[in-house]
């Protein structure tokens, strides 16, 4: 069962549970109007998000770049739940001190992850640049970028992928084909047979896999990462998954056929992974419940911490535009 130790498998389960529980907590906070702005769920996609990010080696300096639904990925990279909640609650001592929202934060050289900006696609050239710097600095780091079916239509995505492929940069890109971009089905996003087929345009490796198969995603990503690390260049991995909720909490996804939701509900990656753990004797249900208990406690603590955090000081609104002004220390 993969090359993963039992300990690692349980670690993955921990992140899956943490992701789901944290997001559920955010929903509760959203309903209490404590979360300001939109809330974007990754329900149904936690598997690929966690598994892919788990395949990186953060000690080597690897860097992951999440989309809005990749809370799982940055948790794996080391983001603190309290920081995420603070971001959502627009608190003054969160990572961006209330300037940016949700999981748009992180420093590639310091944190092992870098949040996206809203303009979809822009992070692909940026991640190429991070990989380029790593190579120039003679470090063996690999970058892992997430992009959506929708985001993969942007010019920025194309230019970044093309540049990375020409340069044979150590970069792996996960295209999350979750069926929709907001209300737009993938069929209106592209006429390509698969999103992995875009790899032909770049001359990089490309593959389509089951996104709800945690171990499959881990293995494929891991191979792609090690290939990249050893100079093999870019891989584009299309993971087939599904966005189980609307685009954001305000969206009731009326445009999604009910049967499709029901069909994918059966394929939940977390349930599937845990069933496997139990079947293969990696863990008992009790052990898994214990993980859930631990996770709940962590999320409770994080919520408390975020709740107690101050809002930003309005007097700071004008500071820090240029880095030398010292606002960020």
Ligand X SMILES: Cc1ncc(C[n+]2csc(CCOP(=O)(O)OP(=O)(O)O)c2C)c(N)n1
Residue 160 in the binding site for ligand X (CB under 6 A): no
Q: Which tokens sit at 117? A: 């900006």
Contact call for residue 261 and another protein (CB under 8 A): no
Considering only 30, 54, 180, 202, the residue that binds a second copy (CB under 8 A) is 202
Among 56, 82, 174, 181, binds Mg ion (CB under 5 A): 181
Answer yes or no whether residue 178 interacts with another protein by CB under 8 A: no
Question: CA-to-CA distance for 42 and 67, rounded, in angstroms?
Answer: 10
Contacts 24+ apart (CB under 8 A), 311-319: 311/90, 311/91, 311/92, 311/98, 312/90, 312/91, 312/92, 312/97, 312/98, 312/99, 313/92, 316/92, 316/97
Residue 36 tokens read as 């300001």
Q: Is 179 an interacting residue with respect to another protein (CB under 8 A)?
A: no
255 among known catalytic residues: yes
Nearest residue to 15 (alpha-carbon basis) of 86, 65, 81, 60: 81
The residue from 182, 255, 280, 294 that is catalytic is: 255
Taking CB under 8 A as the rule, does residue 133 contact a second copy? no
Alpha-carbon radius of gyration of the chain: 19
Give me the least distance between CB of 7 and another protein, in Å please: 31
The residue among 162 and 309 lying less far from ligand X, judged by its C-beta, is 162
Read off φ and ψ for residue 52, nearest 5 degrees.
-65, -45
In this complex, which beta carbon is closest to a second copy, that of residue 87 or of residue 153?
153
Asked whether position 178 contacts ligand X by CB under 6 A, the answer is yes
Is 40 known to be catalytic? no
Which of 30-38, 48-56, 188-196, 240-248 is the region at the interface with a second copy (rule: CB under 8 A)? Answer: 188-196
151 in contact with Mg ion (CB under 5 A)? no
Active site residues: 243, 247, 255
């Amino acid at each position: 069962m993969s090359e993963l130790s039992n300990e690692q498998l349980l670690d993955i389960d921990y992140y899956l549970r943490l992701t789901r529980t944290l997001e559920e907590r955010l929903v509760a906070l959203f309903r209490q109007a404590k979360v300001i702005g939109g809330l974007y769920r990754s329900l149904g996609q936690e598997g690929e998000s966690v598994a892919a990010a788990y395949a990186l080696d953060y000690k080597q300096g690897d860097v992951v770049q999440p989309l809005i639904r990749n809370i799982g990925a940055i948790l794996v990279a080391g983001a603190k739940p309290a920081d995420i909640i603070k971001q959502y609650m627009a608190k003054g001592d969160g990572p961006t001190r209330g300037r940016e929202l949700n999981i748009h934060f992180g420093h590639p050289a310091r944190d092992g992850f870098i949040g996206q900006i809203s303009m979809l696609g822009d992070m692909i050239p940026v991640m190429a640049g991070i990989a380029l710097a790593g190579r120039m600095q003679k470090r063996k780091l690999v970058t892992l970028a997430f992009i959506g079916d929708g985001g993969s239509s942007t010019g920025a995505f194309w230019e970044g992928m093309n540049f990375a492929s020409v340069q044979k940069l150590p970069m792996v890109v996960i295209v999350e084909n979750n069926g929709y971009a907001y209300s737009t089905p993938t069929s209106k996003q592209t006429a390509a047979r698969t999103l992995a087929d875009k790899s032909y345009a770049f001359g990089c490796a490309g593959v389509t896999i089951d996104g709800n198969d945690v171990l499959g995603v881990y293995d494929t990503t891991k191979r792609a990462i090690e290939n990249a690390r050893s100079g093999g260049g870019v891989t584009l991995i299309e993971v087939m998954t599904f966005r189980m909720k609307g685009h954001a909490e305000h969206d009731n996804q009326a445009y999604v056929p009910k049967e499709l939701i029901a069909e994918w509900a059966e394929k939940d990656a977390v349930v599937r992974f845990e069933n496997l753990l139990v079947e293969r004797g990696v863990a008992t249900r009790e052990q898994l419940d214990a993980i859930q208990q631990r996770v709940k406690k962590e999320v409770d603590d994080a919520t408390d911490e975020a709740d107690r955090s101050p809002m930003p000081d309005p007097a700071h609104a004008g500071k820090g535009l240029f880095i030398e002004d010292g606002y960020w220390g």
